[in-house]
Structure 1
Amino acid sequence: MSKAQWESLCDGCAKCCLLKLEDEDTLELAYTDVACRLLDMGTCQCTRYPERSVLVPDCITMTPEIVPTLRWMPKTCAYRLLSEGKPLAWWHPLVSNDPNTVHEAGISVRGRAVSERKAQDLEDHIVDWPEEDIT
């Protein structure tokens, strides 16, 4: 698979751009509704994609090798689905031929997240919806 083909797997939901909290003792993960400061909240696209890893050092570049190790990947993520041998959902842009279906289906963070520039205490922003298993 070429780099362009791999990149096209991203459905544009931006759930991976949400900040997550991990309990040091239990290693339990909690999603927040707080998105990376580089995320355009309307388009759900990174505003500085080419240099995101430099500007946000803990931003992870998705690769076929790393995806199976990321236990926080949402169940709806195309990268995760592919690594698990599962099909893409009907709303995925590669299936629907429409980049807006991910938003219309309520899968993306559009209208449900806040920028980390505006959020204060992350513990006040813990939510369950990013991990909903909607397909």
Structure 2
Amino acid sequence: MEKFWETKTLSQMSSQEWESLCDGCGKCCLNKLVDDETEELHFTNVACHLLHTKSCQCKKYEQRLKIVPECVKVSLDDVEQFHWLPASCAYKRLIEEKPLPEWHPLITGSQSAMHKGGHSIRGKVISETKVDPEYLEDYIALWPAE
């Protein structure tokens, strides 16, 4: 099997190849906070209301940008926005010239290794509909950034 992610740049990939880079972990759909003083990014364990917390997929993927205006589409047009992606994200890793993690679905052939290894949001998050936004800082989590 050709490992297109090792032979092509992100800009050379087809839309299907680009989409397949997403491991489906759901971490990019977590609410994040930025420290006003240090500008440090903090992940929380609070997920977007559109995220299905078992499948780790967006319930309205095609309409997400209209429904959630602050949702950021991962694209080459916004490479400077990649800093908010988790360290395990394939898009971020490839920009940083790092290999995909060994549990990535393109390597293992399924998402089960990712879920079994605890690399997704499954079983770790709550919906933003259950959290008062004023108290979001109480939900800062370290595991998404790893």
Residue by residue over 1:13-72, the C-alpha shift from the partner in whole angstroms, topping out at 9 and shown as x without a partner, is 111000001122332221110000000000000000000000000111111342344322
Match of 1:123 among 137, 142, 145: 137
Give yes or no for contact 1:67–1:79 (8 Å, CA) kept in 2: no
Percent pairwise identity: 48
- Listed as ranges, the gaps of 5+ residues in structure 1 are none
Instruction: Tell me the equivalent position of 1:17.
Output: 29
Which deviates more from structure 2 when the two are superposed, residues 57-66 or residues 67-76?
Answer: 67-76
Instruction: Tell me the equivalent position of 1:85.
Output: 97
Report the AA paired with residue 19 of structure 1: N
Give yes or no for contact 1:68–1:80 (8 Å, CA) kept in 2: no
Match of 2:118 among 98, 103, 106: 106
Match of 1:50 among 62, 82, 107: 62
Instruction: Tell me the equivalent position of 2:4.
Output: none
1: CA distance between counterparts of 2:137 and 2:87? 23
Instruction: Tell me the equivalent position of 2:73.
Output: 61
Instruction: Output aligned runs, 1:23-42, within 5 Å.
Output: 23-42=35-54
1: CA distance between counterparts of 2:76 and 2:91? 8
2:93 match: secondary structure: helix
2: CA distance between counterparts of 1:118 and 1:69? 27
2: CA distance between counterparts of 1:64 and 1:84? 13
Give yes or no for contact 1:31–1:128 (8 Å, CA) kept in 2: yes
- Listed as ranges, the gaps of 5+ residues in structure 2 are 1-12
Q: Aligned residues, how many?
A: 132
Report the AA paired with residue 127 of structure 1: A
More helix by share: 2
2: CA distance between counterparts of 1:30 and 1:60? 16
The alpha-carbon deviation at position 127 of structure 1 amounts to 1.1
